[in-house]
């Protein structure tokens, strides 16, 4: 039967929650610190503060600079190891946004920040990507990126360890054939977001897409309980894809384990042969540095999904359209 390393995922999520709590604690400290500073400075700066208030009132449209103050010049990021975090750091340099910082948290904490902002129509800027359920849940837009720091459309590639083809030809064939669309992945993500168990959501998608799955498994022999180890990162997109392909392999007779890791350890595990495969490499840009480090020691089976995208994402109700507007 399927051997899910759920404890690993649970641990990953509590780390994410702790990280989120940590962030709050930090914010509270900062808030407290600022209050004290404000109180001390209040008498002297009273006139200046009023002038600033008037300025803000006179501005009909919020500018990037106003949002900067509202947001404490902070963009809400995800896990520090994600490729989108380095791209976002690059964006700060390229667009001359020296005042801004990117806070590291997790996919879960980032979507929580979005939810909190939408409750009160407050501004928020996050590192975001598609496919992701947040675009079905909230009215969001990518900020234009005229310098192309986040690249064009990305493909998500499947990588397997060396020798997988000779050791496990059946799994290799399925992984090589595996290809689906943004909408396919999105359907599973939305079901999970709406409260469905991850495995159940993947099963529901497989049942509704038997023809496509049959194309991947066409002519592939069944196996008898062979163990196959998949690795992934607990990004919502990869939770969806990895659960889905794990079930397809399980239906073929494999005993499947799924281990959530940080991005660099996911690549390393497949390169070292400790894990058999992953379906979570975003190229040509997001995981470029990881492919550079580990790509030679593993096999790229090509894109399993085309047309993914990453960037800075904000609510539609915000009055900015480009990363340049944050200057």
Q: Which residues bind ligand PBE (CB under 6 A)?
A: 78, 82-84, 129, 235, 237, 263, 282, 286, 310
Secondary element (H or E) of residue 306: strand 298-315
**Whole-number Å distance between alpha carbons of 115 and 101:** 21
Radius of gyration of the chain (CA): 22
Q: Report the residue closest to ligand PBE, judged by CB.
A: 84
Instruction: Say how far residue 285 (Cα) sits from the centre of its chain.
Output: 14
Kindly tell me which of 111 and 237 has the beta carbon lying closer to ligand PBE. 237
Quote the least distance from Cβ 35 to ligand PBE, whole Å: 35
Calculated CA dihedral for residues 6, 7, 11, 13, nearest 10 degrees? 20
Kindly tell me which of 217 and 243 has the beta carbon lying closer to ligand PBE. 243
Quote the least distance from Cβ 278 to ligand PBE, whole Å: 11
Quote the least distance from Cβ 287 to ligand PBE, whole Å: 6
Quote the least distance from Cβ 132 to ligand PBE, whole Å: 8
**Whole-number Å distance between alpha carbons of 316 and 273:** 44
Quote the least distance from Cβ 280 to ligand PBE, whole Å: 7
C-alpha to C-alpha distances, 206 to 24, 107, 128, 241, 243, nearest whole angstrom: 39, 25, 27, 11, 11
- Torsion sign across C-alpha atoms 109, 98, 147, 124: positive
Kindly tell me which of 177 and 286 has the beta carbon lying closer to ligand PBE. 286
Kindly tell me which of 145 and 170 has the beta carbon lying closer to ligand PBE. 145
Kindly tell me which of 178 and 282 has the beta carbon lying closer to ligand PBE. 282
């Amino acid at each position: 039967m399927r051997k899910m390393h759920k404890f690993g995922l649970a641990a990953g999520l509590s780390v994410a929650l702790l990280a989120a709590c940590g962030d709050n604690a930090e914010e509270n400290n900062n808030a407290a610190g600022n209050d004290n500073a404000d109180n001390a400075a209040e008498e002297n700066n009273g006139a200046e503060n009023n002038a600033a208030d008037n300025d803000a009132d006179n501005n009909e449209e919020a500018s990037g600079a106003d949002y900067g103050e509202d947001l404490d010049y902070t963009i809400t990021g995800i896990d520090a190891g994600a490729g989108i975090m380095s791209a976002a750091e690059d964006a700060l340099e390229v667009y001359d946004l020296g005042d801004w910082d990117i806070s590291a948290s997790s996919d879960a904490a980032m979507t929580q920040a979005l939810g909190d902002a939408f409750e009160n129509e407050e501004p928020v800027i996050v590192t975001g990507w598609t496919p992701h359920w947040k675009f079905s849940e909230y009215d969001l837009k990518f900020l234009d990126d005229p310098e192309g720091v986040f690249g064009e459309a990305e493909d998500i590639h499947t990588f397997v360890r060396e020798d997988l083809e000779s050791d496990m030809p059946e799994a290799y064939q399925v992984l090589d054939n595996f290809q689906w669309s943004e909408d396919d992945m999105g359907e599973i993500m939305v079901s999970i977001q709406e409260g469905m168990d991850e495995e159940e959501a993947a099963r529901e998608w497989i049942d509704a897409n038997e023809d496509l799955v049959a194309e991947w498994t066409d002519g592939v022999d069944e196996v008898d309980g062979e163990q196959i180890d998949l690795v992934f990162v607990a990004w919502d997109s990869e939770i969806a894809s990895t659960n889905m392909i794990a079930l397809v392999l399980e239906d073929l007779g494999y005993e499947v384990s799924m281990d959530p890791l940080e991005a660099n350890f996911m690549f390393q595990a497949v390169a070292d042969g400790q894990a058999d495969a992953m379906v979570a490499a975003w190229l040509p840009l997001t995981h470029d540095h990881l492919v550079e480090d580990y790509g030679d020691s593993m096999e790229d089976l090509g894109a399993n999904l085309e047309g993914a995208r990453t960037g800075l994402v904000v609510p539609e109700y915000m009055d900015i359209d480009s990363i340049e507007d944050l200057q």
